[in-house]
Structure 1
Amino acid sequence: MTWGTLMSRAHGMCEFCGGMDDCLPVEVEGAGEILVCAICDSDPPVEHWRCLESAARSEVPEVQVAVWRKLGEIEAPWAEKIRSGMALSPEAQALV
C-alpha cells in the first residue's frame, strides 16, 4: 500500500488511538499495513491500550487483525472483554 493510500484510509491518524503525531506505517504480519503513532509503536503503559476499544470497531481488516492480536497480548479482563466482543470481517477471521 502506498503512503498516500494509507494516510487517506487512516485520515492521517493512528488507527489504534487516533493520535496524529509521528504516525508511521507498521506491517501487520500476513495482513498488510496500518498507520500507528509513535506512542502505540513504543511500549506505552497498559492503560493506553484502552484505546483499542474504539479501534476494535474498525471496518478495515488489517486494523481488525492488529487489534485482535494486540488485545490477545494484554493480560487484563477489559482486554479479553473487548476481544470477545469483536465482530471480525471474513477477511480478518481468515488471518487471526
Structure 2
Amino acid sequence: MTWGTLMSRAHGMCEFCGGMDDCLPVEVDGVGEILLCAICESDPPAEHWRCLETAAQSEHPEVQVAVWRKLAEIGEPWAEDLRGRMRLAPETQALL
C-alpha cells in the first residue's frame, strides 16, 4: 500500500488510538500495513490499550487482525473480553 493510500484510509491518524503525532506505517505480518503513532509503537501502560475498544470496530481487516493480536498480548481481563466480542468476517478470520 502506498503512503498516500495508507494516510487517506487512516485519515492521518493512528489506527489504534487516533493520535496524530509521529504516525508511521507498520507491517502486520501476513496482512498488510497499518498506521500507528509512536506511543502505540512503544510500550505504553496497559490502560493506554483501552483505545483498542474503538479500533476493534474498524472496517479494515489489517486493523482488525492487528487489534486481535495485540489484545492477545495484553493479558488483562477486559482485553480477553473484548477479543471474545470481536466479530470478524470469515475472510478476516482466515488471516489470524
TM range (shorter): over 0.9
Q: TM-score normalised to the size of structure 1?
A: 0.98
The correspondence of residues 33-44 of structure 1 with structure 2, limited to 5 A, is 33-44=33-44
Question: 1 CA distance for matches of 2:91 and 2:59?
Answer: 11
Unmatched runs of 5 consecutive residues or more in structure 1: none
The correspondence of residues 1-96 of structure 1 with structure 2, limited to 5 A, is 1-96=1-96
Q: CA RMSD in A?
A: 0.6
Q: Deviations over 1:30-70 (max 9, x none)?
A: 00000000000011011100000000000100000000000
Q: TM-score normalised to the size of structure 2?
A: 0.98
Q: Deviations over 1:12-36 (max 9, x none)?
A: 0000000000000000000000000
Unmatched runs of 5 consecutive residues or more in structure 2: none
**Between the two proteins, what is the percent identity of the paired residues?**
80
Question: 1 CA distance for matches of 2:25 and 2:91?
Answer: 20
Higher helix share: 2
How many pairs are equivalent?
96
